[in-house]
Amino acid sequence: MNAVDLYRWMLTSRQLESALSSKNPRWFSTEGEEATIVGAFAGIREGDIAAPHYRGPFVTYLMRGADMKRLACQAFGKAGGYSKGRSVPFIGPAALGFVPWVAGDLGTSLGIATGAALALQRSGRGGVCICSFGDGTSNRGDFHESVNLAALWKLPIVYVCQNNSWAISQPARSYLPAPIVERAKGYGIPGIALDGNDAEAVHDAVTRAMARAAEGQGPTLIEARTWRKGGHWANDKTPYRTAADVPDHPCDPLELMRQRLLDRREASPVDLERMRATIAAQVDAAIEYAANQPDAGEPEFGLDEVLAQTSPA
């Protein structure tokens, strides 16, 4: 994926997430983390499996062909969502190659993604799984069990830690005695730490790790260091943060990429404004569509799409 497309998806994420946050006070905002999210999944191919973190997965769904209107429905608990507005609001379309969220508990997707990588390995068809998660989730037992098994069996999976320095209201210094990337040594796998605000750097690192995994050399652990600009969710005013907790000059990944495109003359200010306006119109249409859809009411809660419909042999 080229730099212009990386920026387009980052801008899509920023605008869509901003709109969702303004309508849903419990939405998990991604502002400031777009480069890690887009960069990690930009190189995914047909036949690969994606297991994105709960913070910011919508853009990864869109990158694989999801319908923005249906995603907006899901975020607002509308019947038109991918799971009819049920379950967690950030759930995505499994049919597009995504590991579904089966529980609201953190870390569960790590084990399922690792199992998906095992299935890919046994199938022999050459796919790779990309699994992203937060720094807080990295302290769950699921992380150790998953990475240890993947390293032992050389499973085709890339683990991307979206380290935004916060686990809800706890700063990283209170739960990380050492950099997350250092854990890779204990599993005998490569560990890469990089600037999570640089989408091209993230994309390049993940692409190389995917190639390594596809060659049968096993997993890689990537720690992408970024910053959660807002609170844990939209209406979290971060009363727990002090001035010392906030970087003097936090990097905006969109501004970094925008300036890079202009400096390299890969896009003009007119091009970028046209892009912004087009995305804004798409987001507005999706939000308006979802607002006019029926809620996921009691009639929707049955066995449809829960149990397979089979006929007796």
Query: For residue 17, what are its two tokens?
Result: 């997430």
Q: Is residue 246 part of a domain?
A: no
Split into its structural domains, the chain has a count of 1
Q: Is residue 308 part of a domain?
A: no
b/e map 203-234, b = 16+ CB within 10 Å:
bebbbbbbebbeeeebbbbbbbbbbbebbbeb
Query: For residue 195, what are its two tokens?
Result: 């600037």
Q: Distance (Å, rounded) from C-alpha 60 to C-alpha 76?
A: 18
Predicted confidence at residue 313, as pLDDT, reads: 56
Predicted confidence at residue 273, as pLDDT, reads: 97
**Which pLDDT tens digits describe the chain residue by residue (313 residues)?**
899 999 999 999 999 999 999 998 888 889 999 999 999 999 999 999 999 999 999 999 999 999 999 999 999 999 899 888 777 788 878 889 998 776 677 888 999 999 999 999 999 989 999 999 999 999 999 999 999 999 999 999 999 999 999 998 998 889 999 999 999 999 999 999 999 999 999 999 999 999 999 999 999 999 999 998 888 988 898 899 988 888 877 789 999 999 999 999 999 999 999 999 999 999 999 999 999 999 887 655 556 666 666 666 5
Query: For residue 134, what are its two tokens?
Result: 């937060």
Predicted confidence at residue 57, as pLDDT, reads: 92
Q: Distance (Å, rounded) from C-alpha 43 to C-alpha 240?
A: 37
Residue with tokens 């990537």: 222
Q: Is residue 242 part of a domain?
A: no
Query: For residue 223, what are its two tokens?
Result: 């720690």
> 229, 287 in Cβ contact below 8 A?
no
Q: Distance (Å, rounded) from C-alpha 214 to C-alpha 26?
A: 38
> 60, 36 in Cβ contact below 8 A?
no
Q: Is residue 239 part of a domain?
A: no
3-state helix/strand/coil string of 203-236: HHHHHHHHHHHHCCCCCEEEEEECCCCCCCCCCC
Domain membership of residue 12 as a residue range? 3-233+251-297
Query: For residue 44, what are its two tokens?
Result: 């995914």
3-state helix/strand/coil string of the chain: CCHHHHHHHHHHHHHHHHHHHHHCCCCCCCCCCHHHHHHHHCCCCCCCEEECCCCCCHHHHHHCCCCHHHHHHHHCCECCCCCCCCCCCCCCCHHHCECCCCCCCCCHHHHHHHHHHHHHHHHCCCCCEEEEEECCHHHCHHHHHHHHHHHHHCCCEEEEEEECCEECCEEHHHCCCCCHHHHHHHHCCCEEEEECCCHHHHHHHHHHHHHHHHCCCCCEEEEEECCCCCCCCCCCCCCCCCHHHCCCCCCCHHHHHHHHHHHCCCCCHHHHHHHHHHHHHHHHHHHHHHHCCCECCHHHCCCCCCCCCCCCC
Model's pTM, two decimal places?
0.92
Predicted confidence at residue 312, as pLDDT, reads: 62
CATH of the domain at 288: 3.40.50.970
Predicted confidence at residue 116, as pLDDT, reads: 96
Q: Distance (Å, rounded) from C-alpha 234 to C-alpha 261?
A: 30
Q: Is residue 307 part of a domain?
A: no
Going 263 to 160 to 208 to 116, the CA torsion angle's sign is negative
Q: Is residue 43 part of a domain?
A: yes
Predicted confidence at residue 245, as pLDDT, reads: 82
CA 265 to chain centre: 29
Q: Is residue 310 part of a domain?
A: no
Q: Is residue 28 part of a domain?
A: yes
